[in-house]
Structure 1
């Protein structure tokens, strides 16, 4: 870290302490004698650092102006370099968001200090510009739209619903309405001088409205405090953000009940006739017929199967992968190629294995994902805290301060739904592999 950058970081810390004391007095509480002394000391330190920073910046400018190219005649090269490497090129998708977060943490949430740090440390011009123009929102800052788009793209490998091909559409003013055909016209044959029967098409609407989704991502301070541009560190931060947001999305896009302010998921979009309880018995013949019947529900509704796929828990797939025919051969060898009965599948732990009265049931989904839509508000908000607490996967309360972590809260707004509900079939009561 350069001397100027280090001093700016120290000044930002001191300024934050001054602001904390000022807020106490602004709330109507008189400062104690010790606090007044501390305020005066902080003011002196800030002024001294400001003067040092000014002198250091002047020194850097003079040094840069006096710099001359290094002669390379010993290597037989006296001409100017043909290419100068800079960090002004656009940052890779997903990584820019991670760099922005890391700089905000290092700057103690001060976006202007973070912008200067980005400039001095050689971050991409897009990162520096974003931090210079970012606006407050949702208790933190609003991520620029181009960064939000890159985050959505990096979510695709992490969210199984997105990965399987769900279509992302913008929510204009927080709402989106898409017409859908409920019933087609009927064409009939008739004899000479017979009246043509009247037929009408039935229409309906898929209405999506912005629903606020939030994810809290705990990240090690050792990662966030790493100075300078480092692709491996930024990729790790970006991956942590994408995984947490992807899991949060899948939880609701697959099994959300649609009550309250949450999206309705595939499980509750599926019509009653497309929800198939698992049959008694688990022989290959029974299982194969059952999977075929799930596919048949979509075929009977004239659903385009080109974009169809399966969703299931890892336990269900491993059981199907171990299923053998009478000759000991794999019943579904194509699983090793990422297919089941000719269609791709995705695994997620967001489909539980503890459903049903016995606490050992799961579900399996066969869906036309090309008919599923994610309406998205392009705004994405982040807030940062090093003192807050959170609950881990086991429900235990964890202190970020005690764990030396920083909590990053990401808030987005979106909704989910299929254009035709007949595009979703759900298998329930799946106990395959419960003893594994």
Structure 2
């Protein structure tokens, strides 16, 4: 930053805001509802379907059926999957024809007729079969509350506590502290508008 001839401070700020967006994404799925993070979708009382198998021709129908049984609005559905689930669905072969079942749709951004988004903030287990979870729901019912706008400040003085619990002084270490504050909350209007598929197996 001291030898800033190419916008280093802006580059660092861009990296930090990207990290902030990823943290929001993670909290939206996995947040514990503590003082420092809102309740995420996976920790709400969302209906679930136990899959415990690799995707096949009936997997997507199981999740859609759960939404229909709960009288959910299915006119604006979308999927949230991670890259491992994407690979598993992309390689599903239809038994009758021997052709890939979802590839053409997924190349066009849809899975079983509904748009999908890939987020690797959804974890995958290292256990046998690399199980993970997937979400199908009406995302217009997922609410994001934001208070104010993102605030960023740089300090040449002050201290922080690093990931090892040690105190780092900006003065002693000749460094600059970047602080970003952004206040959010999450919620769903109707928990029945979503369904989580548990234990989708994505590998050997």
TM-score by length of 1: 0.40
Q: Given the alignment, which residue of 50, 73, 82 partners 1:304?
A: 73
Within 5 Å, give how 1:75-90 maps onto structure 2.
Answer: none
Say yes or no: does 1:422 pair with 2:192.
yes
Say yes or no: does 1:380 pair with 2:150.
yes
Say yes or no: does 1:276 pair with 2:70.
no
Q: Give ranges in structure 2 of 5+ residues lacking alignment.
A: none
Change (3 A) 1:239 1:295: farther
Say yes or no: does 1:254 pair with 2:23.
no
Alignment-derived partner of residue 63 in structure 2? 294
Instruction: Determine which structure has the larger strand proportion and give its number.
Output: 2
Instruction: Give the number of the structure whose alpha-carbon radius of gyration is greater.
Output: 1
Alignment-derived partner of residue 134 in structure 2? 364
Question: What SS class does the counterpart of residue 101 from structure 2 fall into?
Answer: coil
Within 5 Å, give how 1:29-428 maps onto structure 2.
Answer: 221=1, 225-226=4-5, 234=10, 236-237=11-12, 239-271=14-46, 274-280=47-53, 282=54, 287-326=56-95, 327-333=97-103, 334-354=105-125, 360-385=130-155, 390-391=162-163, 406-428=176-198
Change (3 A) 1:406 1:344: farther
Q: Per-residue CA shift, 1:309-342, capped at 9, x if unaligned?
A: 1111111101211222244422102111111111
Cα distance in 1 for residues equivalent to 2:118 and 2:23: 15
- TM-align CA RMSD: 3.4
- The answer to whether the 8 Å contact 2:130/2:202 transfers is no
Q: Give ranges in structure 1 of 5+ residues lacking alignment.
A: 1-220
Q: Return structure 1 stretches of 4+ with deviation > 3 angstroms.
A: 236-239, 357-360, 385-391, 403-407
Instruction: Determine which structure has the larger helix proportion and give its number.
Output: 1
TM-score by length of 2: 0.79
Q: How many residues are treated as equivalent by the alignment? A: 198
